[in-house]
Copies of this chain bind each other. A is one copy, B any other.
Amino acid sequence: MILAGGVGGSKFVAGARRAYPDAQITVIVNTADDITMHGLRICPDLDTMMYTLGGGSDQIRGWGRAGETWRVKDELAVYGVEPSWFGLGDLDIATHLVRTQMLDAGYPLSEVTRALTTRWLGDDPALHLVPMTDDRVETHIVIDDPEAASGRRAVHFQEYWVRLHAAPEARDMVRVGIEKATLTPGLANTVAAADLILVAPSNPVVSIGPILAVPGMRSALASASAPVIGFAGILGGAPVLGMAHRLLPMIGVDVDAAAVGLHYGSRTGGGVLDAWLVDTADAGSVDQLQQAGLPSMATDLLMHDPGSTAEFIRSGVERYGAGTASR
């Protein structure tokens, strides 16, 4: 089982499949980036995961579909309909149309995801993508706005990320709907039955953070019999992908692999991890982590390709995965 966001998460999952080709892998995917635009329900992390693992993603752009076109988006702009800043491709729109129609018909997101992934991953895949919750959760970021009466305003995470390029200081964050969200049916059991749980090197604030914030998730992880091994996405003090450095300060966490590991915390200390892997660039922090009660090792965490990703996953699992038997 893997907890993951979108772009980095899908690279990590591709590595895990390479490392354990015979494993049944369930990926708990963040849905707090989801947004409704032009009446279409868009799940960026689920889609990135689905396209990437189904061989349909654009490798160069890093998101969306290979061979994508923008006919509908350009035409919406001619109608003057906002928002126009989101990269809504034609192939992508087909996915959103199917999803939106199924949701409108009453299917929960998890079943919609299963239907969509059947095309990409087959009827009985060794890989299951499961949204963290069937409920609607959306991350909003509070930024300064001199024109607002309060001096601040909240924008959807996608607007902060895509339109504003994470340039404004993130003052606060609201995960709309998270308190009332429930784990996707069956997910707590899947966590309990897993024999290995990996936390992908995804954004700790807006990808892994929301998954852990769904009521019931932390307690499911706390009581899981499998070892929980996390992988740092901050290497040498900077994120490899994305802009986590713009968000970590908001939650009071240094942009530093060790700080993120301690933010997740060790299970023995009430956190979620049994072990935390950092990059060789951060090898100096391993002692500090160990002393703080979080077993840790350093290895090359750059996800050059599925092969190199598989290699560091295997390193971590060989070192810490034995916990399965011992617990």
Contact = CB atoms under 8 A, between A and B. Distances in A.
Contact of A75 (B39, B75, B90): B90
A79 to B, nearest CB: 5
Interface residues of A, number: 24
A72 B94 contact: yes
B100 A39 contact: yes
Nearest to A97: B38
Contacts of A101: 38-39
Q: How many copies does the complex hold?
A: 2
Interface string A196-220: 0000000000000000000000000
Contact of A39 (B72, B90, B104): B104
**Chain A contact residues: helix, strand, loop or mixed:** helix
B98 A71 contact: no
A181 interface: no
Contacts of A327: none
A40 interface: yes
A76 B90 contact: no
Contacts of A76: 94, 97-98
22 contacts: A38-B97, A38-B98, A38-B101, A39-B39, A39-B100, A39-B104, A69-B71, A71-B71, A71-B90, A72-B90, A72-B93, A75-B90, A75-B91, A75-B95, A76-B97, A78-B94, A79-B94, A79-B98, A79-B119, A80-B119, A81-B98, A93-B93
Given A69-B71, A71-B90, 16 more contacts: A38-B98, A39-B39, A39-B100, A40-B97, A71-B91, A71-B94, A72-B91, A72-B97, A75-B90, A75-B94, A79-B95, A79-B98, A79-B116, A80-B119, A90-B90, A93-B93
